[in-house]
Structure 1
Amino acid sequence: MAQNFFSGTSLRLNDGSMVDAGEHLKGKIVVLYFSASWCGPCRQFTPIMKELYQQISATNQPIEVILLSRDYMRFQLDEYYEKQGCSWGVVPLRDPIIEKCLEKYDVKALPSCRVVDEFGNCLDANARHNVEKYREKRQMTELFNKWRQQMVQVRA
């Protein structure tokens, strides 16, 4: 079996605890959210990500949003995370996985989202656009189901 893409990466959870991202993300659909406190469009999009996460996780579906911040200082990240009421995992600033993900998933602008499985296979390269589109139609659960179907196809 392929190695978990996130193994060995630390992930800070909402309660402040640190976990191995590889273990925490096993079997989950992972929304990589590239954002920063200084980015105006990010501050507009973060509530939408929060809505997606709350709607899907409330149904006990295997989803996790991971914040990969482009902030410069931890206090900026922490303040932004708290002010926005985020409840998902955060990769510590300057962790090598952030640059690895920016390159692997060809992230050129903020905010950006990529939906991947635990092995790093991209399930949705246009996740930001799709989240906004499905939110307008009030169909975020349907979007999650599309990601889940894509994950099954990738693993087949």
Structure 2
Amino acid sequence: MEEALLHGTPLVNAKGETIDGGDVGQTGLLALYFAANWCPDCRAFQPTLNAFYEQANVSTQQLDVVFVSSDMDEEAQLAHFTNKHGAWWMIPRAAEIRNELRRKYGIRNGKDDVEVGVTHRNSGIPALVIVRRNGEVLDFQGVQQVERDGVQALATWQAQAKDQ
């Protein structure tokens, strides 16, 4: 069995509970949500993602979301996460994997890209990158899919996960 992308990474929810990142994505899908509260587009997309998450997981957990913050400090990250996000997980600001994921997936925020070492661009923020548990990308255009297709996007990603 392939190792989970976030194995060994402590994740926290808005209640302060922690789990190992290897425990998320048990359904085979994981959504990495790259965003920041200072970003107007992120603030505009947030309610849509919250509604999508609730609909997608109404009867059983079908999709885990992990917040990868581009907020400028821990206080801003925690305020953003606890006040505006759904019932999902967050990578703590101090965890280096936060920047590793931005580099791996080419997510730029226009603020600290050089310091973080993001050298290529697949997306700016907000970005919702849909991956398998091992980190293999299924869809870089998660934001657009959710905005266009709503909860039907989940069925598309589930089919992609089975086909590949």
The normalised TM-score by structure 1 is 0.88
Query: Can you give the 5+ residue segments of structure 1 that lack an aligned partner in the other structure?
Result: none
Matches of 2:59 and 2:160, distance apart in 1:
19
Code of the residue aligned with 1:128 in structure 2: it is V
Q: Summarize deviations over 1:30-81 as a string: whole Å, max 9, x none.
A: 1111011111111111111101111001131421111100112222112112
Q: Equivalences for 1:121-132 in 2 at 5 Å? A: 121-132=136-147
Which residue of 1 is the match for residue 34 of structure 2?
34
Q: Summarize deviations over 1:113-136 as a string: whole Å, max 9, x none.
A: 10011110111111111111113x
Q: Residues 14 and 82 of structure 2 are in contact (CA less than 8 Å); yes or no, is this contact kept in structure 1? A: no
The normalised TM-score by structure 2 is 0.84
Q: Equivalences for 1:15-94 in 2 at 5 Å? A: 15-94=15-94
Q: Which has the higher helix share?
A: 1
Code of the residue aligned with 1:132 in structure 2: it is E
Deviation at 1:23, TM superposition (A): 1.8
Percent identity of equivalent pairs: 25
Deviation at 1:151, TM superposition (A): 1.1
Matches of 2:107 and 2:85, distance apart in 1:
24
Runs of 4 or more off by more than 4 Å in structure 1?
Answer: none
SS at match of 1:114: strand
Query: Can you give the 5+ residue segments of structure 2 that lack an aligned partner in the other structure?
Result: 109-123
The CA RMSD measured in Å over matched residues stands at 1.5
Which residue of 1 is the match for residue 128 of structure 2?
113
Deviation at 1:24, TM superposition (A): 3.1
SS at match of 1:93: coil
Q: Summarize deviations over 1:90-140 as a string: whole Å, max 9, x none.
A: 1100312222211222223111110011110111111111111113xxxx1
Instruction: Pick one of 134, 149, 157 that aligns with 1:134.
Output: 149
In the alignment, is residue 148 of structure 1 matched against residue 163 of structure 2?
no
**How many residues matched?**
149
Matches of 1:132 and 1:13, distance apart in 2:
24
Deviation at 1:85, TM superposition (A): 4.5
SS at match of 1:48: helix
In the alignment, is residue 12 of structure 1 matched against residue 12 of structure 2?
yes
